[in-house]
């Protein structure tokens, strides 16, 4: 970044105060980590940053201005009470701080009450979407919830048209979610710390053949991956498998692994902190992401930065990053049979190291902190 651009950023930074309103849940470390990444970026571009989040305060640095909202598990009450909580918290903060911009991030597409309130008092608003909620409902639940889908679509459209800018993870996600029809859109990705996540070990010297690192939840497809292990071992019973994370399905995952780990060479590890994650990724030959829904997964980009090929379902913004057999591998769906078949295809691919290298180069070029910072700066200037 040249001196002229640096001076412009510093000048703009002095006059900016930004409020982030985030989704997630109390114990969701992944959501909290994503929120911290946005804060890292905006710290370079803003004077004061405030965060309203349902995530536990202990996940954040003490120097951040954190205001917690309550997280509810019941879906109906969650929607209503989250709106009220965020509305109250927003009003409270705006009473004693001159906020220039409010950005809704990570699952806030339906937060209509705070958005209407902020629009009425003429605040600048951006909404960063990980994907339209109605698109996800339609894809995975079909016509089962017609009334719910109709109401959500109505709220989506109101929110996307009220805000000053609709943001998404990348240009592919903007196109795939049809955000281009709104007046202002922008790419607002998270960054990968390429000084921490980098290639350390040749693929053929890595201990684990196959790995999964992430939340143990239904949407991540962890149980389908577990079911696929028997099919994978019917093809090659000498593979070493590494599974790490935590979540609602931990007990089911743990029960299977404790019963079958000796037969299937499985290592189960608890949640891995970002500081230790690069070493684990550099010891895995292939990362599998059998998700039902996604935005743009951090673990995918971090694995690619470490020269670890990724096999993933074509959901969210993943197809905008992974080209099959070019920068990674795409599987048609996340059924156990499909996972097993594609794991063997990937591990036996004759150009596995070339795919790993192209994936690493792609992340370094497009998702370094420097590149991400430039995109966010452009967005703030547009708004």
pTM for this model (two decimals): 0.87
232 and 173 in a single domain? The answer is no
pLDDT at position 10 is 58
229 and 118 in a single domain? The answer is no
pLDDT at position 374 is 95
Torsion sign, CA atoms 139, 143, 147, 150: positive
User: Could you list the residue range(s) of the whole structural domain that residue 279 is in?
Assistant: 203-366
136 and 42 in a single domain? The answer is yes
236 and 134 in a single domain? The answer is no
Counting the structural domains of the chain, the total is 2
47 and 162 in a single domain? The answer is yes
168 and 245 in a single domain? The answer is no
Q: Is residue 88 in a domain?
A: yes
Q: Is residue 325 in a domain?
A: yes
148 and 186 in a single domain? The answer is yes
Q: Is residue 269 in a domain?
A: yes
Q: Is residue 70 in a domain?
A: yes
165 and 268 in a single domain? The answer is no
Q: Is residue 307 in a domain?
A: yes
Q: In this structure, what CATH number is given to the domain that contains residue 339?
A: 3.40.50.2000
141 and 217 in a single domain? The answer is no
pLDDT at position 75 is 60
| pLDDT by 10-residue block (mean), the chain, 383 residues | 52 76 86 93 92 86 65 65 86 84 94 95 95 79 74 94 96 94 94 96 95 94 94 93 92 82 82 94 98 93 98 95 98 97 98 97 96 95 88
pLDDT at position 62 is 62
317 and 342 in a single domain? The answer is yes
The 3-class SS string of the chain reads: CCHHHHHHHHHHHHCCEEEEEECCCCCCHHHHHHHHHHHHHHHCCCCEEEEEECCCHHHCCCCCEEEECCCCCCHHHHHHHHHHHHHHHHHHHHHHCCCCEEEEECCCCCCHHHHHHHHHCCCEEEEECCCCHHHHHHHHHCCCCHHHHHHHHHHHHHHHHHCCEEEECCHHHHHHCCHHHCCCEEECCCCCCCCCCCCCCCHHHCCECEEEEEECCHHHCHHHHHHHHHHHHHHCCCCCEEEEEECCCHHHHHHHHHHHHHHHCEEEECCCCCCCHHHHHCCECCEEECCCCCCCCHHHHHHHHCCCCEEECCCCCHHHCCCECCCEEECCCCCHHHHHHHHHHHHCCCCHHHHHHHHHHHHHHHCCHHHHHHHHHHHHHHC
pLDDT at position 284 is 98
Q: Is residue 197 in a domain?
A: no
């Amino acid at each position: 970044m040249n001196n002229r651009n640096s001076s412009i950023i510093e000048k703009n930074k002095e006059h900016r105060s930004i409020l982030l309103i985030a989704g997630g849940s109390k114990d969701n470390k992944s959501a909290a980590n994503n929120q911290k990444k946005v804060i890292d970026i905006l710290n370079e571009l803003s004077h004061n940053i405030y965060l309203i989040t349902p995530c536990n305060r202990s996940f954040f640095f003490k120097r951040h201005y954190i205001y917690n909202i309550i997280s509810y598990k019941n879906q109906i009450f969650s929607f209503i009470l989250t709106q009220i909580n965020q509305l109250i918290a927003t009003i409270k903060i705006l009473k004693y701080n001159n906020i220039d911009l409010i950005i809704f991030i990570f699952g806030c597409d339906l937060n209509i009450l705070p958005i209407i309130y902020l629009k009425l008092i003429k605040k600048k608003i951006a909404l960063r979407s990980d994907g339209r909620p109605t698109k996800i409902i339609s894809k995975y639940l079909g016509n089962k919830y017609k009334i719910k889908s109709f109401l959500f679509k109505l709220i989506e459209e109101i929110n996307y048209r009220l805000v000053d800018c609709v943001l998404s993870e990348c240009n592919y996600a903007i196109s795939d979610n049809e955000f281009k029809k709104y007046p202002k859109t922008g790419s607002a990705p998270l960054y990968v710390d390429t000084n921490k996540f980098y290639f350390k070990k040749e693929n053929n010297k890595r201990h684990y053949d196959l790995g999964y690192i992430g939340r143990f939840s239904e949407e991540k497809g962890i149980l389908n991956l577990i079911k696929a292990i028997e099919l994978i071992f019917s093809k090659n019973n000498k593979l070493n498998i590494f599974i790490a994370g935590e979540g609602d399905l931990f007990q089911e995952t743990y029960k299977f692994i404790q019963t079958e780990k000796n037969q299937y060479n499985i290592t189960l590890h608890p949640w891995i902190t970002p500081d230790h994650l690069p070493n684990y990724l550099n010891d895995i030959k292939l990362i599998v992401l059998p998700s039902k829904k996604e935005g743009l997964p951090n673990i995918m980009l971090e694995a690619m930065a470490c020269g670890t090929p990724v096999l993933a379902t074509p959901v969210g913004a993943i197809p905008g990053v992974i080209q099959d057999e070019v920068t990674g591998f795409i599987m048609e769906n996340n059924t156990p049979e499909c996972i097993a078949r594609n794991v063997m295809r990937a591990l036996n691919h004759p150009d596995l190291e070339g795919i790993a290298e192209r994936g690493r180069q792609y992340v370094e070029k497009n998702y370094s902190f420097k590149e991400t910072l430039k995109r966010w700066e452009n967005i703030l200037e547009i708004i």
